Amino acid sequence: MMKKIQMVDLHSQYLKIKNEIDNAIQQVIDSCAFINGPAVKDFQKDLEEYLGIKHVIPCANGTDALMISMIALGLKPGDEVITASFTFIATAEVIAVLGLTPILVDINPDTFNLDPEAIEKAITSRTKAIVPVHLFGQCADMERILDIAKKHNLYVIEDACQAIGAEYLFEDNMRKKAGTMGDIGCVSFFPSKNLGCYGDGGAIFTNDNQLAENLRAIVNHGMKVRYYHEMVGVNSRLDSIQAAILRVKLKYLDDYARERNLAADYYDNAFNNHPKLKTPVRSANSTHVFHQYTLVTKNLDRNGLLEYLKEKDIPAAIYYPVPLHLQKAYFNQRYKEGDLPVTEELAKRVISLPMSTELDDEQLEYITSSILEYANK
Ligand SMILES: *Cc1c(COP(=O)(O)O)cnc(C)c1O
């Protein structure tokens, strides 16, 4: 019988490395070094090496990583931060929580990532930073975004929560990993992310020594020396058990990306050139780690398709149904419907299919033939 299809199959993934994971967890329990134990430092070092970056600062989750980055860069209320409207809420939320002003702009319809021209048009004298989101596992147009940032003297904070392991290719053939190109990079280790732990987790990346020192202080109540608080900080730690799990899984991250790409290739082949289904466009400058495999429907009842799949026991999801600039919490005098046409159109037409390291051909065949059945009706 066919294995039940899940949006992300974490259990099958765990079973393949069960011994290693169980041992890693048991070691932390035996040591009782639950907070800032050796596992955290070991994982930090391994990740620094994997990414080719000087500093990884582990923290409690991806949302904190973004917020702490903005605190460390000294962004102040009234400062404007440009980011995408087509993203998970966390990106804009932390900007607003800090009293900064999120400026939400449109995206490239092929890559779902920030449109550099839209960024440039949105820059004012109050703009302090750009937050490119490497959405669905593919890097934003970093060459142009970094050029714009340099020209206008802006910080770049990469939201790489969905793209850990993706690689960007610059025009001079230099390759850099997602999260290591801007001033700061942020990732999440939420269980369903490409490198997921068994709870919450996150990390901040930078090559800047001074910034790293401040980031390390901020995640730990603003202290560099115990009980001496040099700056206002927060409590945002990656716990040792999660670090131990991540250290095991990091070894498999590139294999995981390969497995996701195999599933993506299967989908691509099935839907290739279909008049009603546009497959994800692979950017020439970035590898894709397929956090999501997202189709854009054309002349097709997208919500009907979603319902149809549900009836067939195939989970699918809409990332994201309502753009941030039209969300109640962010909709203000600045935005009205129609302001970001690409984002608004995609929100109505996208559908993300099951994607994980564990999809087998039988499942993929069932998913693709069900979708084609609906689309060809
Ligand atoms: C998951 C995610 C976050 C937040 O990460 P958490 O660990 O859940 O706080 C931020 N931005 C994007 C794009 C994400 O996908």
> Does 228 score more than 90 pLDDT?
no
Angle at 159 between CA 81 and CA 206, to 5 degrees: 95
Question: Among all chains, which residue has been given the structure tokens 């490497």?
Answer: 134
Is 230 among the domain residues?
A: yes
pLDDT of residue 334: 83
Of 353, 346, 264, 267, the residue nearest 309 (C-alpha): 353
Both 99 and 155 in one domain: the answer is yes
Evaluate whether residue 16 is within a structural domain: yes
Choose one of 97, 136, 162 to mutate for the ligand 1 pocket test, by most ligand atoms within 8 angstroms of C-beta.
162
279: tokens are: 């497959």
Identify whether residues 215 and 347 lie together within a single domain. no
Are 149 and 25 found together in one domain? yes
Average pLDDT value for the chain: 96
Residue 56's SS3 state is: strand
Q: Is the CB of 83 under 6 A from ligand 1?
A: no
Residue 2 lies in a domain: no
* In a shared domain, residues 14 and 34: yes
Mean pLDDT across the stretch 71-77?
97
Domain endpoint, select from 201, 225, 250 = 250
Question: pLDDT, tens digit, for every residue of 169-214?
Answer: 999 999 999 999 999 999 999 999 999 999 999 999 999 999 999 9
Residue 331, pLDDT > 80, answer: no
Q: Is the CB of 69 under 6 A from ligand 1?
A: no
Residue 88 lies in a domain: yes
User: Residue 312 falls within a domain, yes or no?
Assistant: yes
Q: What percent of the chain has pLDDT over 90?
A: 95
The CATH number assigned to the domain holding 356 equals: 3.90.1150.10
Interval 134-146 mean pLDDT: 98
Give every CB contact of residue 133 below 8 A, 6+ residues apart in sequence.
83, 84, 87, 88, 91, 113, 114, 140, 159, 161, 162
Please check whether residue 5 lies inside any domain of the structure. Answer: no
Q: Ligand 1 atom 10: the closest Cα is on which residue? A: 90
Q: Which atom of ligand 1 is nearest to the CA of 201?
A: 7
Which residue is listed with tokens 């989908």? 267
Does 286 contact ligand 1 (Cβ within 6 A)? no
Question: Under a CB-based contact definition with an 8 Å cutoff, are residues 188 and 215 in contact?
Answer: no
Nearest of 136, 135, 145 to residue 182 by alpha carbon: 145
In a domain, 4, yes or no: no
Place of tokens 């129609």: 338
Ligand 1 center–CA 65 separation, angstroms: 9
203 near 238, Cβ under 8 Å?
yes
> Please, which pLDDT band fits residue 90 given cuts at 50, 70 and 90?
very high
One-letter identity of residue 58: P
Tell me the pLDDT band of 333, cut-offs 50, 70 and 90: confident
Q: Are residues 245 and 258 in the same domain?
A: no
Return the amino acid letter for 233. Answer: G
For residue 15, the enclosing domain spans 10-106+113-250
In a shared domain, residues 164 and 45: yes
For ligand 1, whether the C-beta of 202 sits within 6 Å is yes
Check if the beta carbon of residue 325 is closer than 8 Å to that of residue 340: yes
What phi and psi values does residue 363 have, to the nearest 5 degrees? -65, -45
What local confidence, expressed as pLDDT, does residue 142 receive?
98
Q: Give the type of residue at 321.
A: P
Please tell me whether residues 323 and 204 are part of one structural domain.
Answer: no
0.85 surpassed by pTM: yes
Distance 296 CA to ligand 1 centre (A): 22
pLDDT of residue 1: 87
Is 62 touching ligand 1 by the criterion CB < 6 Å? yes
Q: What is the pLDDT of residues 235-269, one digit of tens each?
A: 999 999 999 999 999 999 999 999 999 999 999 99
**Separation of CA 225 and ligand 1 centre (Å):** 30
- What is the reported pLDDT for 57? 98
Examine the domain organization and report whether 182 and 260 are in the same domain.
Answer: no
Q: Kindly state whether residue 348 falls inside one of the protein's structural domains.
A: yes
Q: Measured from the CB, is residue 180 less than 6 Å from ligand 1?
A: no
Percent above pLDDT 70 for the chain? 100
Q: How far is the CA of 171 from the centre of ligand 1 (A)?
A: 29
Q: What CATH number does the domain containing 206 carry? A: 3.40.640.10
Burial degree of 269 (CB within 10 A; 0-12, 13-18, 19+): exposed
User: Do residues 295 and 271 lie in contact, with contact meaning Cβ atoms separated by under 8 Å?
Assistant: yes
Asked if residue 280 and residue 246 are part of one domain, the reply reads: no
> For residues 164 and 121, what is the distance between their CA atoms, to the nearest angstrom?
29
User: Does the Cβ of 90 fall within 6 Å of ligand 1?
Assistant: yes
Q: Is 100 in the pocket of ligand 1 (CB under 6 A)?
A: no
Ligand 1 neighbour 63 (Cβ under 6 A): yes
Residue 186 Cα to ligand 1 midpoint, Å, equals: 9
Strands 350-353 and 293-297: antiparallel
- pLDDT band with cut points at 50, 70 and 90 for residue 4: very high
Q: How many domains does the chain have?
A: 2
Tokens 């109050």, located at residue: 126
Which of 219, 250, 281 marks a domain boundary?
Answer: 250
> Could you tell me if 235 and 285 lie in one domain?
no
Using the mean position of ligand 1's atoms as its centre, give its distance from the Cα of residue 297 in Å. Answer: 25
Q: Domain ends where: 232, 250, 268?
A: 250
Token representation of residue 153: 């003297």
Same domain (yes/no): 215, 162: yes
